[in-house]
Structure formats: structure tokens, C-alpha cells
Amino acid sequence: MAKKEEKIYVVGHKNPDTDSICSAIAYANLKREITGNDYVAKRAGQINEETHYVLQKFGVKVPTLLENVKLQVKDMDIHQIDGIGPNVSMKDTWIKMKENNIKTIPILRDEELLGVISTGDIATSYMDVYDNMILSKAKTQYRNIKNTLDGEMVTGNEHGYFTKGKAAIGASSPELMQEFIEKDDLVILGNRVESQMCALDIDVSCMVVCQNAEVSKEVIKRADEQSTVIISTPHDTFTAARLINQSVPVKRFMTKAPLISFHMSDYVEDIKEVMAKKKYRDFPIIDRHGKFRGFISRRRFLNVSKKKVILVDHNEKNQAVDGIEEAEIVEIIDHHRLGNIETMGPVFFRNQPVGCTATIVYQMYKENDVEIKPTIAGLLCSAIVSDTLLFRSPTCTPLDEKIAKKLAKIAGINLEEQAQAMFKAGSSLAGKTAEDICFQDFKQFTVNDMVFGVGQLNSMSKEELQEVKEMLTPYLPKVLEKNGVQMVFFMLTDILDESTELLCCGARAKEYIIDAFDLKENTEKMILKGVVSRKKQLIPTLVSELQQ
């Protein structure tokens, strides 16, 4: 079976903003255009109202959530194999396993796993001595007996089942046969008509006639009247007796539920310990519908394929999707400071000091001579407007503004109108809790041993910012505990006034800000004039203070 095409996920940070989402969508599209491979835009968290507005305006679906990139069973090399039904004979099962060079085979009914059987189980079944009732106890189908003995049906229903009686050899005289052969038994015998008639007198269920001996019309007629099955086999009596137990259905000897099986969505890390403790060769894999999908073995751990990801708009481990250390990072496209992401091998890393990742993505479209269609242009333009606060942020460069204007023309939008609609949607408090507002644009940072978080909300309304302040002030102490950070800051940014009121929480949080921005020690409201950028103004200044 051909290996399915490998997906490569393009994803932004855990608390995605408009740039993170729009750049992921646009860059995934660019990579598909260039390579023809399966690049998929994803999100690592809940998107905010501003981004919802942008996607809805340009008719783009919200990327599906990528909760983590930890290795799962579905990422492994699963050995896909056709199973067999529960009534298949032991002999046919053995033949199939030999032909396909497999050691374990699943027993299925409508793709549902009933059990498994291994070559060891079959060997054990051949070596063990079973009583002469095994065929009836296992409810063996007459077709199995016929096929196992390389025989033919002389008369009777091959789809019927041998359900009562024992298997016996009728090689002795009729008088002796009557002493040990009973009604409903299966009898293996030769060409002696008197023995065959004796078996019919006793009313056996089945007669196995050896060495292809001819069966008289009279015997056949009598058997039909009594519903006795007659099977003719080319084998002699000894061989037929030796082979007949191989007609027992495989369900009799299979290992039944509860089996140690895994699901496609199980994490590799979670199943390693189970596999180490249980010395089975193969473990069944079940999908979410309860259907069997194949086997995995210990050695297949060596060939496990890591999930491949491209990170956009971030390069810090604590901002990345969970499990990033288990994934293969193939590219990073970003415009922030260098963080602490580590990779196993060299990667394509493009980082430019511009105001928005979308600016870099636009450049890459041009460098690869790929047409930017109006929808993509609208997404990229909106991302630049969002990240640069319509060119008011100090992070904005002349290149950002120049590219945004080109993209607006392609998308057919007015920059001022788009900015107002986006910022209005993004700062709307309708139906939002303090938690919703706090984490809609929240990032964590690490400096030495200090971990802190910074959230931000941009608005054109002072009343709205005051309302947010009243909601968030009592909530911020909970963020310290929930996120395991030592300090938390929240930027209430007034776009029109180009200033930020900073809420502080945590040990010495307020003192660090007073020292970092040279504010008065008795300052009640932490007003930072001219500060609107978390990335270029707040974080560098705060980090510098923490490093002293």
C-alpha cells in the first residue's frame, strides 16, 4: 500500500493574533503553490474577535485547532494486513500466514477485532492432545472439514455445522462399530458398504469416506433421507484422522478480548511502557469507529515519523504548540527577538526586523513569483494593519506601510475603514469574561529564571479601556497561579492617544516597571506615554531591567 502524503503544519503561537493566523494561512498557500505538497494552516489556540472579523470578511474558514504535535500512533508505521473471519479453519489460517510471511493475524467480523492468533498459537494447537469432541465443541463447518481434507461433498449441506458428537474411525466390523459409535458422531471410514450402512443405521451426522472410494447410490439416497453429510477425501484413514483437527475454526484458539490494543489517537509516549511490559510481537490498532487498522511492533518505534511543522510569528518554546520538542521544525518565519526554540538539525529560519510576519510572507510571494490573489492580499494587509496599529506602532517600518498599501489595492479595501472595523471588533466586550479578554492576546517570556506573561488589548475608546481595567484587575492574581508565572502585565493600549496603561501583578512587578520606565515611586496609574508595542517597547525595556 502506498504511503500517504505527509502533512506539514503551518502554525502560529498559542494565543493567536491576526498576524499569526493570516500569515499561517497565506504561507501554507504559498508552500502548496511552490511545492505541490500538503501544507496545512493550523491554529494553536482560540482566535480573537478581530481575527474572526477578518476571516469572515474575506470568506476564509478558521483553521482547525492543533492541540499538540506530540507523536501519536497514527504517525507510526502501521502494518496494515487483511484479517480473516472467525470460522476460517486453522489450516487455511496457517496457509495465509505462510504466504504473507506474517506471525500474527487478526480475526475480524465487519472490520471489528474479535481476537488475534499467532504462529505460536497454531503450533500449540497442533501439539496439544484434544479429546475427540473438539470438532463439535468448536462448531466446525462441514466446508472446513471438506477443504482441510482436500475432499468433495458427495451429499449434504457444506454450510452446515458439526455441533454434536465425537470424531471416530470406523475401520472395524459393524458389530464393533456399534459399540463405540453413537448417534450424531462423525465417522472416518473406507469403502466397505456394510460399515457405511452401519454408520447410517446409527444415524451419524457425517461420514468421511477415504481414498476417494466410490459411494453407492443406495448409501447416498439413504444419507439424503437422513440429512447425513458425506465427504469424500483422497487421503487414507491415518492421514484423514491426523488432518481433520486442522478444520477447527480459528475462533477456537484465538486470543480473545480483552486484548491489549491501542487507538490511532494514543500518544507514543503513553504506550511505550505498556509495550515494554507485555512481550507480544504485535499490538492491534483500532480507529475511533472501533475498526481494526493494523499492527504495530516495538521495532516500528525506530521508524516513527515525527510531525513536521513550520512556525510563523514566533520562535519561543513557551509560545509554541504543546509537544514542539517532539516535532520536526522545518522552517521558522518570524519578526520577533530570537527566543529559545531548539531544533535537531538545520532549518530554514527567516527573521526580519519588520512590523509584521505578513510583510515577510508578501516578500516571499514576490521572490517566488507567485500571484497574490485578492483573498490572500486581504488577509496579509489586515495582519499588517493589526500588528502595526495602522502604522502607529514603533515596530512599523516604511516597508510595512508600503506593502500594506499595495495589498489593500489588490484586495480592494480602504485601509482606514478596515482598521476601524477590525479594532472595533477586537475590543468588543460583548459576552466576554475576564479570562477571555486576558488570554486573547497573551504571551509568556522567560528571562534567566524569571517567567512572566504579558497581555494586550488595543482600543480607540477610553470608556472601553476603563471597563476592561475594572474586569481584569481582580482577575490577574488568578493568572499567576493558573499559568505558573511570577509576574503578569496587561497593556491597555489607547490607539488614538498612542499610550498604554499597564496593569501589574506579582512580586515586585510594579517596582520593575517603575524602575524600567523611570516613573515616580508613588505612581498609582502606570501610564506609559508613547508605548503601544509589546514587542518593541515594553518587552525590551522590561527584559533589560530584569537582567540587571
Residue 378 clears pLDDT 50, i.e. is over it: yes
Stretch 94-98: mean pLDDT, rounded? 92
Distance separating alpha carbons of residues 312 and 301, to the nearest angstrom? 30
Any idea what the Cα angle at residue 367 is, between residues 365 and 369, rounded to 5°? 65
Top-tier CATH class for 434-547: alpha beta
Any idea what the Cα angle at residue 218 is, between residues 213 and 223, rounded to 5°? 85
Distance separating alpha carbons of residues 56 and 209, to the nearest angstrom? 78
Residue 371 clears pLDDT 50, i.e. is over it: yes
Helix (H) or strand (E) holding 104: strand 104-109
DSSP string computed for 312-349: ES---GGGSPBTGGGSEEEEEEE-S-------SS--EE
Among 202-206, 275-279, 376-380, 477-481, the range scoring the smallest mean pLDDT is 275-279
* Most confident by average pLDDT, 257-271, 420-434, 467-481: 467-481
Stretch 102-121: mean pLDDT, rounded? 90
In Å, how far are 62, 87, 164, 232, 303 from 142, measured between CA atoms? 59, 11, 13, 12, 45
Domain boundaries 90-252, corresponding CATH code: 3.40.1390.20
Grid cell digits, residue 122: 497454531
Among 271-280, 319-328, 433-442, 457-466, the range scoring the smallest mean pLDDT is 271-280
Residue 3 clears pLDDT 70, i.e. is over it: no
The string of pLDDT tens digits covering residues 145-175 is 999 999 999 999 999 999 999 999 997 788 8
Stretch 96-107: mean pLDDT, rounded? 91
Grid cell digits, residue 111: 472490520
Structural domain boundaries in the chain: 8-71+307-426, 90-252, 434-547
Q: Is there a contact between 486 and 451 (Cβ–Cβ < 8 Å)? A: yes
Distance separating alpha carbons of residues 26 and 288, to the nearest angstrom? 32
| Strand 450-459, strand 104-109: pairing | unpaired
Q: Is there a contact between 442 and 455 (Cβ–Cβ < 8 Å)? A: yes
Top-tier CATH class for 8-71+307-426: alpha beta
Q: Is there a contact between 235 and 150 (Cβ–Cβ < 8 Å)? A: yes
At residue 129 the predicted structure's pLDDT band, cuts being 50, 70 and 90, is: low
b/e map of 409-435 (b: 16 or more CB within 10 Å)? ebbebebeebbebbbbbbbeeeeeebe
Stretch 410-424: mean pLDDT, rounded? 94
The string of pLDDT tens digits covering residues 448-488 is 889 999 999 988 889 989 999 999 999 999 999 989 999 99
Mean of all residue pLDDT scores within the chain: 91
Distance separating alpha carbons of residues 25 and 2, to the nearest angstrom? 28
Stretch 64-86: mean pLDDT, rounded? 88
Report the largest interatomic distance among the alpha carbons of the chain, rounded to a whole angstrom: 120
**Which residues have C-beta within 8 Å of that of residue 403, sequence separation ≥ 6?**
359, 362, 363, 380, 384
In Å, how far are 385, 491, 514, 521 from 524, measured between CA atoms? 32, 15, 11, 9
- The amino acid present at 9, given as its one-letter code, is Y
Q: Is there a contact between 151 and 229 (Cβ–Cβ < 8 Å)? A: no
The string of pLDDT tens digits covering residues 344-354 is 788 999 999 99
Distance separating alpha carbons of residues 356 and 387, to the nearest angstrom? 6
At residue 32 the predicted structure's pLDDT band, cuts being 50, 70 and 90, is: very high
525: which DSSP letter? S
Grid cell digits, residue 174: 459393524
DSSP string computed for 157-194: -TTSEE-SS-EEE--S-HHHHHHH--TT-EEEE-S-HH
The string of pLDDT tens digits covering residues 484-536 is 999 999 999 998 889 999 999 998 999 999 999 999 888 889 999 999 999 88
Stretch 209-221: mean pLDDT, rounded? 94
Q: Is there a contact between 282 and 116 (Cβ–Cβ < 8 Å)? A: yes
* Coil, strand or helix at 401: helix
- Per-residue pLDDT at 2: 39
Same CATH fold assignment for domains 90-252 and 434-547: no
Q: Is there a contact between 487 and 448 (Cβ–Cβ < 8 Å)? A: no
Any idea what the Cα angle at residue 14 is, between residues 486 and 386, rounded to 5°? 105
Residue 404 clears pLDDT 70, i.e. is over it: yes
- Per-residue pLDDT at 522: 82
- Per-residue pLDDT at 1: 39
